A and B are shown apart, each in its own frame.
Chain A
């Protein structure tokens, strides 16, 4: 089963940034080379059916706070922990929904799941392999978006 490509992920992510996080075109997500970047916050959503896998956003605490601030239209200092979970959960929901649109009919999308604590992603999906990863810096803070396919897919 064909998995989404890095180009697909880039197109979807750019649309999300243009619509919600950078409507003025002032703070785009700038891609950076692969490196071990902080991933304090992880939001994931699962796809099941003809294609099985996950879409994952990881970022720093500060990036998640900035994202919640931008999405809610409030100052970063007013952002609560619930706001952060809601914001990164909704970001992965939108990106995951668009990834699902590239997959065969019959796939189902889960509800988003958000965790904080920063454990390596590979430990969360032992039966899946990362198929593409978009890694960048937004407002000087690291954010990565990745797609993981089930090894059986």
Chain B
């Protein structure tokens, strides 16, 4: 599967990549976006099977990206990996069509629990 990792922090993209590997999700094709706008555009170009997106990013936030994708009829599986995990944000994410919201700091176990049903 192809996974798009969207985060304005290269450090966090690296941590997400490492954690995917630690959680046993090897062998997937990983592509990266540095903000929500780039993620939105890359979904069209790269056609990922899953988007793992930060929430708080410049240019376009993660939730804006998701809403724009859904408004454009794109139903790519989309989940958040964010430092903000309030009930309010979980509801916003769910209402916009997100499958899950993983809060930072996360562990490989969290990735495994949440992503196994999607990545197998």
Binding site for B on A (CB under 8 A): 15-16, 18-20, 68, 71-73, 83, 86-87, 89-90, 93-98, 100-101, 105-106, 109, 111
Contacts of A109 in B (CB 8 A): 56, 83-84
Main secondary structure of the interface of B (DSSP, over half): loop
Chain A residue contacts of B8, Cβ below 8 A = 111
* Interface contacts beyond A94-B105, A100-B86: sample of 13 additional A-B pairs, CB < 8 Å, sorted by A: A20-B15, A20-B105, A72-B11, A72-B14, A73-B18, A89-B9, A90-B11, A90-B12, A97-B82, A101-B85, A101-B103, A106-B88, A111-B57
Interface size on B, residues (CB 8 A): 23
In the complex the two chains form, what is the Cα distance from A87 to B10 in whole Å?
8
Given A20-B105, A111-B58, A97 and B83 touching (CB < 8 A)?
A: yes
With both chains docked as a complex, state the minimum distance between the C-beta of B55 and any C-beta of chain A, in angstroms: 8
Given that A93-B56, A97-B85 are known contacts, is A71 also in contact with B105, CB under 8 Å in the complex?
A: no
